[in-house]
């Protein structure tokens, strides 16, 4: 059954999807998110500072993520960093988008014999 909270949010853009994947298990600061997205996509999605922080702001405005306290990072600049975590809505959107992508993959496999 569709979730009315997700109306207008889905489908997720690839960048938003991968940011939510990066934040699925723990809070991270912006640079760590950008690095993980790059790793997850084998370098196909590169997020420079403007794109990254613009995306994070839009995601926060949509209720998908929120600022978080430092999760124990003791790195040199940890006190100045802003950390983000997925919200309940962000996790629900990630699950719903993952299910949508799996259904699409099943359809392609069914239609192409793959």
In a domain, 93, yes or no: yes
Q: CATH no. for residue 28?
A: 1.10.10.10
How far apart (Å, rounded) are the C-alpha atoms in residues 94 and 11? 10
Judge whether residue 73 has pLDDT over 80.
no
Return the closest-CA partner of residue 31 out of 69, 84, 67. 84
**pLDDT tens for each residue of 100-111:** 999 999 999 999
C-alpha angle 18-63-30 in degrees, rounded to nearest 5 = 45
Range of the domain at 56: 10-112
**Count of the separate structural domains present in the chain:** 1
pLDDT value at 23 more than 70: yes
In a domain, 102, yes or no: yes
Q: Is residue 3 part of a domain?
A: no
* Mean pLDDT of all residues belonging to the chain: 93
Residue 43 is assigned to a structural domain of this protein: yes
pLDDT for position 31: 94
In a domain, 92, yes or no: yes
Q: Where are the alpha helices (DSSP H) in 2-87?
A: 14-22, 30-40, 49-61
More confident residue, 86 or 71: 86
């Amino acid at each position: 059954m569709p979730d009315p909270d997700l109306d207008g949010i889905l489908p997720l853009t690839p960048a938003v999807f991968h940011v939510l994947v990066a934040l699925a298990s723990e809070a991270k600061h912006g640079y760590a998110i950008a690095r993980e997205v790059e790793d997850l996509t084998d370098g196909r999605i590169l997020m420079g500072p403007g794109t990254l922080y613009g995306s994070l702001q839009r995601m926060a405005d949509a209720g998908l993520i929120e600022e978080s306290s430092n999760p124990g990072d003791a790195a040199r600049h940890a006190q100045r960093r802003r950390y983000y975590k997925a919200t309940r809505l962000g996790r629900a959107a990630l699950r719903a988008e993952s299910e949508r992508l799996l259904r699409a993959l099943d359809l392609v496999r069914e239609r192409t014999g793959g």
